[in-house]
Amino acid sequence: MEPIVKMTGIVKQFPNVLALKGVDFSVEKGEVHSLVGENGAGKSTLMNILYGVLQPDLGEIYVRGQKQVIHSVRDAMHLGIGMVHQEFMLAPSMTVVENIILGFEPNRRSVVDYDAAAEKIRALSEEYGLAIRPESRIIDNSVGEAQRVEIIKALYRGAEVLILDEPTAVLTPQETEDLFKVIRSLKEHGKTVIFISHKLQEVLAISDRITVMRDGRVQGTLLASEATKEKIATLMVGREVFLNIKAPEGKRGGVVLDVQGVSARGRRRLSDLKNVSFQVHAGEILGIAGVDGNGQSELVEVLTGLRRVDQGDIFVSGTKITNLPPGEIRERGVSHIPEDRNRSGLCAELTVAENLVATKLKRPPLSKNGVIRGQAVRELASRLVEEYDIRPGDYRIPTRNLSGGNRQKVVVAREVSEDAQLLIAAHPTRGVDIGSIEFIRSILIAQREEGKAILLVSADLEEVLSLSDRIAVMYEGRIVGILPASEANEQVLGLMMAGGEYAKAQGEEEKVVEA
Amino acid sequence: MFRFSDVLTLTLVRATIRMSTPILLAALGVIVTELAAITNVGIEGIMLVSAFMAVAASYWSGSWIVGILAAVAAGVLIAALMALIHLRFKANVLVAGIAVNMFSLAFTRFLLVNWFGVAGSFYSPRISPIPRINLSILAAHPVLDTLFNNYNLMDYLGIVLVFVFHFLIYKTVWGLRLRFTGVHPLAVETAGVNVTVKKLQALLISGVLGGLAGAHLSLGYTTQFIENMTNGRGFIGVAAMYFGGISPITTWLASLFFGFTEGVGARLQNLGFPSQFMLMLPYVATVVAITFSMIRQQRRETDKQPF
Ligand SMILES: Nc1ncnc2c1ncn2[C@@H]1O[C@H](COP(=O)(O)OP(=O)(O)OP(=O)(O)O)[C@@H](O)[C@H]1O
Ligand SMILES: [Mg+2]
């Protein structure tokens, strides 16, 4: 059978990088086809070309055997190609229905026929098992819901081929499971899905075929049934990858972070912090596990001065930092990898170098008497770019032009090089390819070996389990238990994350470890 | 002696409605642009030039209809000038608006001298005003007569337009796309709708409404042109738009409130209260309008990525 989409010899040159170096890629009708590859390999670029957002410099695109030139998103839609970007194209203040029908409004003499729209949307929602609330505003929707709205929007516009760019990066494990049900149902209805993810487990679970990209080229296409994690990883990175690094237990030092009975107002009521207490020692990684939205973000914000503490106190190496401004907290030896690199981790318009040195400008050698020393900035920037393998290697380009994973490396490089006593790392490997995950994890462990205290927040249980010395589980703004990593496993943590106490999870009361 | 009854009379209701009309028309114009993410403070200049052209055309032709048409045409032209500055040359919209306002003030002063050889103001019995509507059945009853008679055409038109725009904005395809243009232009663009065209449409419509507002000032509310006769009413329109939550019906109420303050102010002044209060109003409105617009701009920024 003829492939529904076939791209041949696609070349795309950006001002600083040759992002695609002659890519051949084809997708059969009705399959789930995964696209994997390191950060910056060119996955998003390739898909943006198919979706009409970008134009290729060379190469041809065939849809259902017909050669096509896709000038715009509208062209792509007419060909039945839809895409859900990682950054949603939804207006937060508008309703779900309004967002879906925009541009393709059912109408009678230019008056929007909301009844017809609602009818059509309900039908799609039922057919594919996409639960949404049509009358609600986007802002009142969770990330998972918003993503379903995006999928319905694409289907509403007649998508036969649906591109999902890292849809699971922002989802909880439960939401991911729901998304997979939807993808399976789409497949049953004869739709074609192109799925991009860094999580190989997911890729193996959902795909029929897997195409691996590296450095702007396709390395090969495998049948999922014949692929293994190791095979894919090796194709992706060009060498073997070791994810389950487990460093020998570290030498635990004195208390660095001491949180005493902290309460604070949260973004939602469920995420209000309620009397949270714990300590992190030098030479220790304390992992915080929990389903997103149970107060982890608020906890990090409170520790870094981004949210007011209503009650309780926070000490770093014995100094009280409660409600100090973020800058002063940094000066007292706290560095922070924020959960949202785009909003609070980086300034996308500034160059890579500027982002790398932003937190260090006040001190020598980067500045002298308030004047920035360009030479010193360039030296540091080029050293960090090299050390952290940030690609492309040119630190003078705006951070906006980096792929998602490379942006994350900029943040990690800046914060780890702060050499602070306490490193707060929120989802440090989100959206990062496996090669870089391995790299970032090894850096965290190296930091621990140097005697740094590390607070690691991650929605990825595997990450928490493999890195942490102790694990605290948060549920509805409380810490429901802290346990040594040696006693934790996915089942226990899973139960605790759902609100069960450690004791009950274990079935043995006396094993409760004091918070 | 100061007595409330001297201020709160039936004629105050009339004054409120009449004074609110130009504010309302301006506010409707800036609602349309604001929805497309353009805070159109240039509405002040649009109104001023329109007021002048209304008088000039009415004077030469002897017809108020020609006067209104000229005002609308002038309003659209000035709005097109703004579109050129903002959409084509990408100048900040507040800066574009202020530039247009300064230009309008100087331009009308220049034309006043050049065409009519006067400075300050121009009045002539040959200027044909917009007719007032009197229903004889109401005239018999003094209360009803004061309350409902003797408004000019624009006062009614303003109220009709409130409902027309409510319908256009909330019920039509055009309105839906307009509302998205302001909050998520990229979504509009990827849906295949040209954002610049939407913004241009919005600006031109505000030109029409600003034109009507100007014509009302110089041919309805009074029958003359005075230098800077808009005196901040465009800005007050912007403030009313924000107070009304960028929605026609509530903005109408806000316009009535501003009309009411003006009415009360005028009365208090007659009773010997310091006139500075009245004179202050436009400036207060300006500060309020610009403050709100900055706040909204920031919110738009943060709105972009709710997740
Ligand atoms: N608009 C742009 N301008 C300049 N360079 C760009 C632009 N978009 C992407 N690039 C570059 O093109 C290359 C491919 O980027 P792309 O976003 O396609 O990677 P990706 O495979 O999607 O990575 P990730 O997994 O991190 O999302 C990268 O080197 C990136 O820096
Ligand atoms: Mg990408």
Nearest alpha carbon, ligand 1 atom 10: A401
With CA atoms as reference, report the closest residue to A385 among A428, A422, A354.
Answer: A354
Which one-letter DSSP state was computed for residue B8? S
**What pLDDT does B7 receive?**
60
Taking the C-alpha atoms of residue A450 and residue A284, their distance in angstroms, rounded to an integer, is 10
Task: Give the pLDDT confidence score for residue A250 in this predicted structure.
Answer: 66
A115 CB near a chain B CB, below 8 Å?
Answer: no
Q: How far is the CA of B189 from the centre of ligand 2 (A)?
A: 21
pLDDT given for residue B3 in this prediction: 62
CA of A43 to the centre of ligand 1 (A): 8
Nearest CB neighbour to A73, from listed B174, B192, B307:
B192
CB B172 to CB A111 under 8 A?
A: yes
**Contact between residue A29 and residue A5 where contact means Cβ atoms under 8 Å apart:** no
pLDDT of residue A510: 40
Judge whether B303 is closer than 8 Å to chain A, CB to CB: yes
Number of domains in chain B: 1
Crossing angle for the helix pair B195-215 and B64-83, to the nearest 10 degrees: 150
Query: For residues A25 and A218, is the Cβ–Cβ distance under 8 A?
Result: yes
Task: With CB atoms and an 8 Å threshold, state whether B183 touches A91.
Answer: yes
B176 touches chain A (CB under 8 A): yes
* Cβ-based contacts of B37 with chain A (< 8 Å): none
In a domain, B159, yes or no: yes
pLDDT at residue A349, rounded to an integer: 87
Torsions phi, psi of B127, nearest 5? Answer: -70, 125
The tokens describing B150, both together, are 């003797």
Task: Indicate which atom in ligand 1 lies nearest the CA of residue A433.
Answer: 25
Is B215 within the bounds of a domain? yes
Q: Which ligand sits closest to the CA of A38? A: 1
Residues in chain B closer than 8 A to A343 (CB atoms):
305
Domain for residue B307, yes or no?
Answer: no
Question: B176 and A343 in contact by Cβ < 8 A?
Answer: no
So what's the pLDDT on residue A55?
Answer: 95
Q: What ipTM does the predicted assembly reach?
A: 0.85
Alpha-carbon gap, residue A228 to A211, rounded angstroms: 13
Ordered structural domains, chain A, with CATH = 5-237 (3.40.50.300), 245-333+421-515 (3.40.50.300), 343-419 (no CATH)
Among chain B residues, the shortest Cα distance to A339 is held by B307
Instruction: Show the ligand 1 pocket: residues with CB < 6 angstroms.
Output: A 14-15, 17, 19, 37, 39-45, 391-392, 401-405, 433
- Given CB atoms, is A171 within the 8 Å cutoff of chain B? no
Nearest to A94 among B171, B183, B307 (CB): B183
Separation of A432 CA from ligand 2 center, angstroms? 10
- Counting one residue from chain A and one from chain B, the pairs whose CB atoms sit within 8 A come to 71
Instruction: Show the low-confidence residues of chain B (pLDDT under 70).
Output: 1-8, 278-279, 281-282, 286, 290, 293, 297-307
Q: Which of B174, B177, B178, B184 to mutate to test the interface with A (most CBs of A within 10 A)?
A: B184
Residue B184 CB contacts under 8 Å (≥ 6 apart), including other chains:
A89, A90, A91, A94, B304
In this prediction, residue A248 carries a pLDDT of: 64
Domain annotation covers residue B306: no
Q: What is the pLDDT of residue A502?
A: 58
Predicted local distance difference test score (pLDDT) of residue A511: 41
**Helix residue spans in A346-484 (DSSP H):** 352-357, 374-387, 404-416, 434-449, 461-467
CA closest to A75 among chain B residues: B192
pLDDT in tens, B163-182: 999 999 999 999 999 999 99
- Quick check: B172 contacting A, CB < 8 Å? yes
Question: pLDDT value at position A508?
Answer: 41
Q: Looking at the partner chain, which of A74, A102, A170 has a beta carbon nearest the beta carbon of B187?
A: A102
- Of A402, A389, A398, the closest CA to residue A355 belongs to A398
Closest CA to B215 of B40, B45, B22, B77: B22
d(C-alpha A392, C-alpha A13), whole Å: 13
Has residue B46 been placed in a domain? yes
Whether the CB of A74 is below 8 Å from some CB of chain B: the reply is yes
Contact A91 B306 (CB under 8 A): no
Q: What is the pLDDT of residue A509?
A: 38
Strand partners, A347: none
Determine whether the interchain pair A99/B187 forms a contact, defined as Cβ–Cβ distance below 8 Å: yes
> Taking the mean position of all CA atoms in its chain, how far away is CA B254?
13
Contacts of B296 in chain A (CB under 8 A): none
Cβ–Cβ below 8 Å for B191 and A87? no
Per the listing, tokens 């706040």 go with B295
**Contact assignment for B192 to A92 by CB distance below 8 Å:** no
* In-domain check, residue B146: yes
Structure tokens at A474: 């948060």
Interface membership of B195 toward A (CB under 8 Å): no
CB B237 within 8 A of CB B23: yes
Identify the CA nearest to B106 among candidates B49, B27, B53: B49
pLDDT score for A419 = 85
Q: What is the CA radius of gyration of chain B?
A: 20
Ligand 1 centroid, distance to A483 Cα (angstroms): 40
**B137 touches A at CB < 8 Å:** no
User: Which residue has tokens 């004179």?
Assistant: B279
In a domain, B31, yes or no: yes
Asked whether the beta carbons of residue B173 and residue A110 sit closer than 8 angstroms, the reply is yes
Place of tokens 């009975």: A261
How far apart CA B284 and CA B287 sit, in angstroms, is 5
Among protein residues, the one with the nearest Cα to ligand 1's atom 3 is A401
Give the containing element (helix H, strand E) for A275.
strand A273-281
Q: Domain residues for B203?
A: 20-237
pLDDT of B5 reads 64
Looking at ligand 1, which residue's alpha carbon is closest to its atom 5?
A401
Residue in B174, B191, B303 nearest the CB of A92: B303
CA distance B53 to B206: 17
Q: How far apart are CA B8 and CA B39, in angstroms?
A: 35
Which of A237, A397, A403, A433 to mutate for ligand 1's pocket (most ligand atoms within 8 Å of CB)? A403
Instruction: Answer yes or no: do A89 and B187 touch at CB < 8 A.
Output: yes
> Near ion ligand 2, which residues have CB within 5 Å?
A 44
Give the closest-approach CA distance of B297 to chain A in angstroms.
Answer: 14
| Residue pLDDT, tens place only, B82-126 | 999 999 998 899 999 999 999 999 999 999 999 999 988 999 999
Amino acid at site B51: A
Q: Side chain identity at B115, as an amino acid letter? A: W
> Would you give per-residue pLDDT tens digits along chain A (515 residues)?
789 999 999 999 998 789 999 999 999 999 999 999 988 899 999 999 999 999 999 999 999 999 999 999 989 999 999 999 877 889 988 999 999 999 999 999 999 999 999 999 999 999 998 989 999 888 878 778 889 999 999 999 999 999 999 998 877 777 888 899 999 999 999 999 999 998 888 999 999 999 999 989 999 999 999 988 888 888 887 776 666 666 666 678 899 999 999 999 887 777 789 999 999 999 999 999 987 778 898 999 999 999 999 999 999 999 999 999 999 999 999 999 998 777 788 888 899 999 999 888 888 788 888 888 888 899 999 999 999 888 888 889 999 888 888 888 999 999 999 889 999 999 998 878 888 888 899 899 999 999 999 999 987 888 898 899 999 999 889 999 999 988 888 888 878 887 766 555 454 434 444 33
The ligand whose atoms approach the alpha carbon of A197 most closely is 1
In a domain, B225, yes or no: yes
SS3 label, residue A489: coil
Nearest by Cα to A86 from A429, A456, A462, A430: A430
Q: Is A158 on the interface with B (CB under 8 A)?
A: no
